[in-house]
Structure 1
Amino acid sequence: MYASFGLSRSDSTEILSCMCQVEGFEVRPMIFLKSQSDVGFGLLLFDAVLRLFDEMPERDVVSWNVIIDDLGKNGCVDEVLDAVNEMFWSGVEPNAVTLLGVVACCLKIGDFGLGKLVHLYVIKRGIHMSENLGNGLIDMYAKFGDMESAEKLFDAMEMKTVISWTSLLDGYIRKGELERACVVFHRMPKDTTAWNVMLSGYSEGGDMSSAEMIFRAMPDRDLVSWNTMIVGYAQSKKYMKSLEMLRDMLGFGLKPDRITLVGLFSVCGYAGVLHIGEAIHSFMEKQNVKEEEVEVALLDMYSKCGDPEKALGVFHAIRRKSVLAWTSMIVGLAMNGVADEALVLFHRMCDARIKPNEITYLGVLCACSYAGLVKEGKWLFNAMSEVHGVTPRSEHYGCMVDLLGRAGLLEEAERFIQDMPEKADAAIWGALLGACRMHGEVQMGEKIAKIVTQMDPNHSGRYILLSNIYAATNRWLDAENVRKKMKTSGIHKTPGFSLVEMKGEMHQFIVD
């Protein structure tokens, strides 16, 4: 068997296609040899099982299914497809259990074509559509967004279980069709998973009022339910509600998991509640949580709360640092104005042969901008594409304009915008307008303000910047005229807010 584990993914499609198309459905012998040293199987857990399988004088569909199931559970997707190919070649007809394993692999590798071919094979061979296989195919169609096929298969099923209904529900939510999802939800039998799917749909859509109605109506709530609400409120910037959910969750005796911790660190970072973040950090250490995703969220929280030293301590404790950890720390140092350390860390990252990505470069360019490091910023901007093959995006151009503008190089910043390969958007011109405000450059400010208000006429910040430029040079009448124009055009300033903790409770103050 080891010698035969060498077929490619395309071979899996080809052999299934042959089985579907050849008259009489006879298997075409296909022999592909590959040495054991090239297989890369590398999982000793399977070794004894595979050797026992190799020694079997006859292998039936049950023994093949055992191997395929074990491979699938251990994430050996390509090996599953190879095993199915060899099963075909050896003359053993796959059954519903075998094909369910192949469908699961199709989802993991994102091969919708192969998944549809499996369904076609089931139809043409007249294989009994078991409950599990039917549910698996519905789930596959739903996850690939083919809800028409999912519904047809669902309607044709004799026995519809809560799993069948939930797959259909999840499919509509993934496509953003919440109204259709509601119809399905109200018709179906519900378990906690179904409630959570509907809850997630509202939460991810930003409708936290509907999400809370579903949450309160749930007969049973598990950790997934609470996590969905905590993360949903955090993403909707309703940080107090998120922290209230945490308090209620702990009151029910539930312990936070990885998803809870990531969401909570995000909340603490944006809300600036360092002591709550530290308490959660203490819990994390007691539970010996060492997952990079959580550790990165923790260092990001310390950075947002203005404590880069603690963030660095978390960073250095991460055993295997991916580009995510390096980038988060560089961005954290940049946002706290520690530009020199951000640049040092960037070069250490490159020395460690970790390739920077778009966000990494955004972080170091911001660091250069805050520190006025024009020469270093220019070099880094050029190195993006020339050294690391990262194509600059609008945000990177905006950082360069901000860098030049803060340094007082307004004319160079304007030329930089004009020389861009694509037309600059309002945000890039807005960065230059901000620099005009900083340096009291009225004439250029008026010209740039005209450009950005034409591009984005409803953005209040552009008008306020121009008004402030006039006010800084005592042109009060012009400043007042800008404000009047905002009022007559129905443009309102976005209100700011502050979160203040008083006696253990968070209070939000809005400033219009």
Structure 2
Amino acid sequence: MRRATSMLKLAPPWLVRFSSVSASSLVDEFTKFCYQRDLPRAMKAMEAMQRNRLWADAITYSELIKCCLVRGGVEQGRLVHEHVFSNGYEPKTFLINTLLNMYVKFGLLDEAQKLFDEMPDRNVVSWTTMISAYSNSSLNHMALEFLILMLREGVRPNMFTYSSVLRACNGLLNLRQLHASLTKVGLESDVFVRSALIDTYSKLGEQQDALNVFNEMVTGDLVVWNSIIGGLAQNSDGDEALHLYKRMKRAGFAADQSTLTSVLRACTGLALLELGRQVHVHVLKFDQDLILNNALLDMYCKCGSLEDANLVFTRTMADKDVISWSTMIAGLAQNGFSTDALKLFEAMKLRGPKPNYITVLGVLFACSHAGLVKDGWYYFQSMKELFGIDPGREHYGCIIDLLGRAGKLDEAVKLIHEMKHEPDAVTWRILLGACRVHKNVDLAIYAAKEILKLDPTDAGTYILLSNIYANTQKWEDVAEVRRSMRARGVKKEPGCSWIEVSKQVHAFILGDNSHPRIEDIKREISRVIQRLVSVGYVPDTNFVLQDLEGEQMEDSLQYHSEKLAIVFGLMSLPKEKTIRIRKNLRICGDCHLFAKLVAQLENRVIVIRDPIRYHHFQEGVCSCGDYW
């Protein structure tokens, strides 16, 4: 008796009271601590209740479980689970579902599955919790299997079940079957289901099906608008995404962070800097949002406005994650500021998050486009040791590009044969580009043939191979290449360039005279070229691809799409305005020289974005240092 008294003296005052209070008071104390989210005291009270074979109501336990989730109390959550099943107590389905959700939120799917299997009664919430858990964990086959089991048990799925399982669909057949199923039960009009349908069709690249779902009925919820705009932006249909954004605003919906993130992605894909700046104004209305800020940063980098990107990165972003740093490093590298990209990478290693796969890719791209062979090799060979990242196909591609640009073609070929990944068409195209620059005909022919084995419809490779044969007087081979093109129905993709003037996008295509001012533009091109010739410009016909129409070389060069766009920009934009152009094909050497000289003679800044990188022309030089 004396021993028991001394133990009580050491205990907290509130616990001492449990020895003398009534059962109802003990439960009341426990309830109070649960609602106060006082986890240590609630757990102590629960221990006392268990010793006295007392239980609270299901709602109180659910509050305690929420507290465990907030505090990351995995072990405490397991003790709650043990308590509510102790001494033959049978908790209600509602409480078991709450425990199930707790295990899912903690990422303990095996324990969730075990509890689910032991449930005496499973309702739609139980099944939906598990389906959602497997869907969110990308265990798509399990999510779909559980839906089938659920239906077999006679439990009817609800809108949350379908919205979860739809996102687990990784095949069009499954998706269409589910679409038909939910239409039968009348759930196709539910906001969450429609949104999930649109998201899933978009994820599978079936954008027309996504649009059909969107257009089937009047959309009265922002969630659905966000799904369709986001899907279009992610599938590179920026024009339609922006069109729907305008429709959404006319319908009276105010954009939220999700909307603006998708609109910024659309602006990024179309290189619409001015529209992106207008969206930036709306971004400022919201509290700091990391995903939105990353989209804003990416837009400025990919629209070639490094000053704006740097301001967002250094001043606007209170928080930065690995995506932020990687975006800025890649943006600097792609815009020709490789040294700055590598400096930022060093800063990231000191005070930023751990670099990931994409970060290292940006670093290697910077080395490749600055000719930093030694640095590139160092980062490539040590990326596993330093950052725990295994080199992927893209990393190998950067190093092959680095070696090829530096003229180390034998080393590039050796690396292709030694790489852990089977070389794809992109890998061989990198080598082919280097062969053309360094005029290695035999290796170029070898690389071109490897590309055509993997991608028999690659028009650019056929044309380049034809030119290589023509330059070496191998006319029979030229004829054979052209016969192959005709037999396969392969046609050369025409060069196309876009420029934004007064909120309108103007497109120029070689050989297309549909632009309303094309005659004025051609006259101005002739005037500009005469001025350039007077200071030593000579059109470089080595960069003319000999297509099947046999265009005159210098005439063809004169009307390359980027030249048309540059001259239209000179005619349409004030002197202080940067001429920004996007094009679908890599810029040729003659157009590169043309842009440098125009920038110098006209005292203009010209930025051209091609599929590989960005070129900033000013005062007769380019940010790439003529190394592209």
Same structural fold, with TM-score higher than 0.5 when normalized by the shorter chain: yes
Counterpart of 2:20 in structure 1 is none
Task: Go from structure 1 to structure 2 and tell me whether the alpha carbon gap of 1:414 and 1:137 turns closer, same or farther (over 3 Å shift).
Answer: closer
Task: Identify the range of structure 1 (499-508 vs 79-88) with the bigger mean alpha-carbon deviation.
Answer: 499-508
User: Is the CA contact 2:219–2:225 (under 8 Å) kept in the aligned structure 1?
Assistant: no
Residues 174-199 of structure 1, C-alpha deviations (whole Å, 9 max, x = no match)? 56512211221221222222222222
Tell me which of 66, 87, 90 is aligned to 2:63.
66
Q: Is 1:392 the counterpart of 2:388 in the alignment?
A: no
Task: Identify the range of structure 1 (415-424 vs 405-414) with the bigger mean alpha-carbon deviation.
Answer: 415-424
Question: How far did residue 280 of structure 1 move?
Answer: 0.7
Task: Go from structure 1 to structure 2 and tell me whether the alpha carbon gap of 1:201 and 1:481 turns closer, same or farther (over 3 Å shift).
Answer: same
Q: Is 1:100 the counterpart of 2:97 in the alignment?
A: yes
Tell me which of 93, 104, 117 is aligned to 2:114.
117
Tell me which of 159, 178, 193 is aligned to 1:163.
159
User: Is the CA contact 2:166–2:175 (under 8 Å) kept in the aligned structure 1?
Assistant: no
Aligned letter for 1:66? Answer: E
Task: Go from structure 1 to structure 2 and tell me whether the alpha carbon gap of 1:467 and 1:83 turns closer, same or farther (over 3 Å shift).
Answer: farther
Question: How far did residue 407 of structure 1 move?
Answer: 1.4
Residues 428-452 of structure 1, C-alpha deviations (whole Å, 9 max, x = no match)? 2221111011122212211222233
Counterpart of 1:22 in structure 2 is none
SS at match of 2:267: helix
Task: Identify the range of structure 1 (411-420 vs 267-276) with the bigger mean alpha-carbon deviation.
Answer: 411-420
Aligned letter for 2:201? Answer: Y
User: Is the CA contact 1:165–1:184 (under 8 Å) kept in the aligned structure 2?
Assistant: no
Task: Go from structure 1 to structure 2 and tell me whether the alpha carbon gap of 1:510 and 1:73 turns closer, same or farther (over 3 Å shift).
Answer: farther
Counterpart of 2:303 in structure 1 is 305
Question: How far did residue 353 of structure 1 move?
Answer: 5.7
Counterpart of 2:251 in structure 1 is 252
Q: Is 1:263 the counterpart of 2:262 in the alignment?
A: yes
Question: How far did residue 282 of structure 1 move?
Answer: 1.1
Larger Rg: 2
Question: How far did residue 67 of structure 1 move?
Answer: 1.0
User: Is the CA contact 2:257–2:283 (under 8 Å) kept in the aligned structure 1?
Assistant: no
Task: Go from structure 1 to structure 2 and tell me whether the alpha carbon gap of 1:64 and 1:459 turns closer, same or farther (over 3 Å shift).
Answer: same
Aligned letter for 2:376? Answer: G
* Aligned-partner Cα distance in 2 for 1:197–1:78: 35
Q: Is 1:330 the counterpart of 2:326 in the alignment?
A: no
Counterpart of 2:148 in structure 1 is 151
* Aligned-partner Cα distance in 2 for 1:141–1:359: 27
* Aligned-partner Cα distance in 2 for 1:229–1:499: 25
Residues 26-83 of structure 1, C-alpha deviations (whole Å, 9 max, x = no match)? xxxxxxxxxxxxxxxxxx9964476367457644242222211444477766653443
Task: Go from structure 1 to structure 2 and tell me whether the alpha carbon gap of 1:73 and 1:389 turns closer, same or farther (over 3 Å shift).
Answer: closer
Question: How far did residue 499 of structure 1 move?
Answer: 4.3
Question: How far did residue 364 of structure 1 move?
Answer: 1.1
SS at match of 2:119: helix
Task: Identify the range of structure 1 (101-110 vs 315-324) with the bigger mean alpha-carbon deviation.
Answer: 101-110
* Aligned-partner Cα distance in 2 for 1:456–1:279: 41
Residues 302-335 of structure 1, C-alpha deviations (whole Å, 9 max, x = no match)? 1111111211111113223222111111011111
SS at match of 2:387: coil
Counterpart of 2:444 in structure 1 is 445
* Aligned-partner Cα distance in 2 for 1:108–1:508: 50
Q: Is 1:350 the counterpart of 2:340 in the alignment?
A: no
User: Is the CA contact 2:393–2:421 (under 8 Å) kept in the aligned structure 1?
Assistant: no
Q: Is 1:51 the counterpart of 2:54 in the alignment?
A: no
Counterpart of 2:485 in structure 1 is 486
Residues 447-476 of structure 1, C-alpha deviations (whole Å, 9 max, x = no match)? 222233234333333323323434566767
Gaps of 5+ in 1: 1-43
For the aligned residues, what is the CA RMSD?
3.1
Counterpart of 1:295 in structure 2 is 293
* Aligned-partner Cα distance in 2 for 1:54–1:432: 69
Residues 269-322 of structure 1, C-alpha deviations (whole Å, 9 max, x = no match)? 12011011001111111x133122211111111111111121111111322322
SS at match of 1:387: helix
Task: Go from structure 1 to structure 2 and tell me whether the alpha carbon gap of 1:281 and 1:361 turns closer, same or farther (over 3 Å shift).
Answer: same
Question: How far did residue 358 of structure 1 move?
Answer: 1.5
TM-score normalised by structure 2 residue count: 0.67
* Aligned-partner Cα distance in 2 for 1:492–1:78: 65
Task: Go from structure 1 to structure 2 and tell me whether the alpha carbon gap of 1:79 and 1:328 turns closer, same or farther (over 3 Å shift).
Answer: farther
Counterpart of 2:419 in structure 1 is 420
Gaps of 5+ in 2: 1-33, 512-628
Task: Go from structure 1 to structure 2 and tell me whether the alpha carbon gap of 1:509 and 1:105 turns closer, same or farther (over 3 Å shift).
Answer: farther
Aligned letter for 1:85? Answer: E
Task: Go from structure 1 to structure 2 and tell me whether the alpha carbon gap of 1:148 and 1:355 turns closer, same or farther (over 3 Å shift).
Answer: closer
Question: How far did residue 172 of structure 1 move?
Answer: 6.2
User: Is the CA contact 2:131–2:165 (under 8 Å) kept in the aligned structure 1?
Assistant: no
Q: In the comparison of the two structures, how many residue pairs are matched?
A: 463
Task: Go from structure 1 to structure 2 and tell me whether the alpha carbon gap of 1:80 and 1:206 turns closer, same or farther (over 3 Å shift).
Answer: same
* Aligned-partner Cα distance in 1 for 2:412–2:98: 58
Q: Is 1:319 the counterpart of 2:306 in the alignment?
A: no
Task: Identify the range of structure 1 (231-240 vs 361-370) with the bigger mean alpha-carbon deviation.
Answer: 231-240
TM-score normalised by structure 1 residue count: 0.81
User: Is the CA contact 1:173–1:198 (under 8 Å) kept in the aligned structure 2?
Assistant: no
User: Is the CA contact 1:230–1:263 (under 8 Å) kept in the aligned structure 2?
Assistant: yes
Task: Go from structure 1 to structure 2 and tell me whether the alpha carbon gap of 1:472 and 1:305 turns closer, same or farther (over 3 Å shift).
Answer: farther
Question: How far did residue 498 of structure 1 move?
Answer: 4.3
